Amino acid sequence: MLKFRKFLCACFGNVALLFAVVSCEMVPHLLRASHWRDFQRTVGTTNPAFRADSFILLLLSELIFLLPPLIAGLFAMAWWALRRGKPSSRRWAIAASVAMLVLCVPLLVAIAYAIRYPGRFVHVAGFLIPESILVASMMAIGIGGLAAFARKNGQPQRSLATVKPPRIAGDGTNILFDGLSLVIGFAGFLAGLNWWERWGRVQHLLAGHFGFPLSLFIVAFLMTTGMHEAGHAAAGLALGMKLRAFFVGPFQWTMREGKWSFHFAPAKLIVPDGATGLVPTNPHQNRWENICMIAAGPIASLLTGLVAFNLALTAKGKPYEPAWALFAVIATIALVDFLVNVIPLNPAGLYSDGARIYQLLKGGRWADLHKVTSLAASTSVTALRPRDYDIEAIRRAEQSFTVGRQAILLRLLATSYYLDCEKFREAGKALEEAEAVYAASQIDVPPELCMAFVFRIAFLRKDPVCARPWWEQMEAKKSVKPGVNYWLAKSALLWSEGRLDEARDAWDQGDALAQALPAVGDCDFDRHRSQMLHQVIEADVMAPAG
């Protein structure tokens, strides 16, 4: 339930941001003097046929322009209260969930109109599919929010904010750059939309006073994000890299155990983002090739923006004229995305393309870190194994990263390297260093790292006292699917506790899964670990009693 509430919190924040953007487009229109001169002419004495009830309806229609900031404020308060764990968070969340359902009503009316009168309303008919997906997602979020927050559980509210890792000195980012990116992104986006709306009115291409519809933003964001990530992917594949993950908004493909899996994340539909996981196949890959792969994303955004800009400007009288607004929004988003992405940023613990390029150009410890982590990721899709790691690069990077998740990961990678080489004494020392870094960092780690600690502590030291808390920490997360790592960790823990029959049973399940894995590096390492564990279990079983 906690994970689902975090998901809803993210949805509320995304909706607040989206309506804040809409507010910045609609409220200035309401305040324009020309708008009120038109209003006065409509209700003035020169129009004696204008009745009082018509005046009231017209005045109410003007208040529609004030709805976006009110909606943005409601969802922003729900997001903030949930993240901070405020006592009022439940009430705000329920109000936001109800508002989400209410917002579905006009969209449902538009969909019904498009179905009933196809071709009359070109815009709604043209975006019927995304409108339908959007409505279904909003209804699911609203109903889910009511179900999640309707009942009081009597427990104090917990903060849902994710702890951001501390900024690392020398990574090329700072808080000023983070703030500058927000200003450039927000101001550039609003300025672009305002310019396109005024240009569209001059060209008689916009109907009504409501500018660009919500579905248009979603389609444009998805297309722009897809082009940006496709730029990364195309460049990486051309340079001999392999693709292991591709995220475009809610559409997420991941390579797991040699097979592609798909996941749909509805929260990413409203304000989508993307990611591309590319890994080298050559352990000695030139860093300039990695820089080219990273730079291909912003370059793809720039080219997308320029092409869409030209298509929007020349759409008048062309067959694609009905899609001019889509091209206009794509051009705005893509060009702003290019500007923001080239700035070195770390606003949420993830580096921007500009930050990664800066770190690779700087070289030194950052180049070592990127090389080590990318090579480790490549074991999932290539024949490279932990024994192929550059242990010298790992050791150099360890000297600079002494706290935080990167420091823990580096030492666990060193442990894997020594384990795969069957250098158990060196593996034990690297494991002790990883435990010391974790104690000094006091950060939360994902279940996968918990299982890594369990197996290594139990297998290398046969220390159930230290291994058991890691196992309990992993189980408390309640999001682990029993796979090879799970069963091998459990088998090693049971063996360290002297529960040999149970250890054998767990090993049987883990080894059966390991043998079915594809012939890639990390799966070969899993089979190697399984055999090493089997040897020590059988040695204890065969050992004479007493």
Query: Do 368 and 396 meet the contact criterion of CB atoms below 8 Å apart?
Result: yes
3-state secondary structure (DSSP) of residue 221 = helix
Report the distance separating Cα 54 and Cα 42, nearest Å.
10
Angle between helices 2-31 and 175-202 (to 10 degrees): 50
Q: Rounded distance, CA 428 to CA 512, Å? A: 27
Give the angle 122-125-128 at the CA atoms, nearest 5°.
145
Q: How buried is 452 (Cβ within 10 angstroms: 0-12 exposed, 13-18 middle, 19+ buried)? A: buried
Question: DSSP alpha helices (H): ranges in 203-323?
Answer: 214-238, 287-313
Q: What pLDDT is stored for residue 293 in this prediction?
A: 94
Tens digits of residue pLDDT in 306-335: 999 999 999 888 888 888 888 999 999 999
Is the model's pLDDT at 29 over the cut of 80? no
Most confident of 171-175, 203-207, 251-255, 504-508: 504-508
Q: Tens digit of pLDDT for each residue in 58-100?
A: 555 556 667 778 888 898 898 888 877 788 888 898 998 998 8
DSSP 3-state helix, strand, coil percentages of the chain (rounded to 5)? 70, 5, 25
- Answer yes or no: is pLDDT of 126 > 50: no
Structure tokens at 185: 């992104």
> Which has more confidence, 419 or 15?
419
Is residue 535 pLDDT above 80, yes or no? yes
Tokens standing for residue 438 = 């974790």
**Averaged confidence pLDDT in the chain:** 81
- Is the model's pLDDT at 351 over the cut of 70? yes
Tokens of 247: 């995220």
Sheet holding 251-256, edge to edge: 259-264, 251-256, 242-248, 274-279
pLDDT greater than 70 at residue 25: no
Residue 33: what pLDDT? Answer: 47
Alpha-helix residue ranges (DSSP H) falling in 85-174:
89-116, 122-126, 128-149
Other C-beta atoms closer than 10 Å to the C-beta of 326 total 23
CA separation for the pair 395, 316 (Å, rounded)? 61
- State the pairing for strand pair 251-256/259-264: antiparallel
* Range 165-180 burial, b when 16+ CB lie within 10 A, else e: beebeebbbeeebbee
Tens of pLDDT along 282-310? 877 888 999 999 999 999 999 999 999 99
User: Tokens 């999640």 — which residue?
Assistant: 148
- For the entire predicted model, the pTM comes to 0.73
Phi-psi region of 253 (alpha: psi -120 to 50; beta: other; left: phi over 0): beta
pLDDT grade for 11, boundaries at 50, 70 and 90 = confident
Among 109-118, 290-299, 362-371, 460-469, which stretch is predicted with the lowest mean pLDDT?
A: 109-118
Confidence label for 209 from pLDDT (cuts 50, 70 and 90): very low
The predicted pLDDT at position 305 comes to: 96
For the CA atoms of the chain, what is the radius of gyration? Answer: 28
Tokens of 192: 């672009």
* Confidence tier at 339 by pLDDT (50, 70, 90): very high
Q: Is the pLDDT of residue 7 over 50?
A: yes
Percent of the chain with pLDDT over 90: 33
Residue 465 has pLDDT above 80, yes or no: yes
To which residue do tokens 């804040």 refer? 20
| pLDDT at res. 310 | 95
Residue 262: phi and psi, rounded to 5, are -120, 140
Residue extents of the structural domains in the chain: 2-40+60-154, 181-357, 385-443, 447-546
Least Cα distance to 400 among 367, 356, 351, 427 occurs for 367
Residues 290, 278 contacting (CB under 8 angstroms) = no
Cα atoms in the 13 Å half-sphere on the side-chain side of 450: 21
pLDDT band at 450 (very low <50, low <70, confident <90, very high): very high
Instruction: Check residue 48 and give its pLDDT.
Output: 52
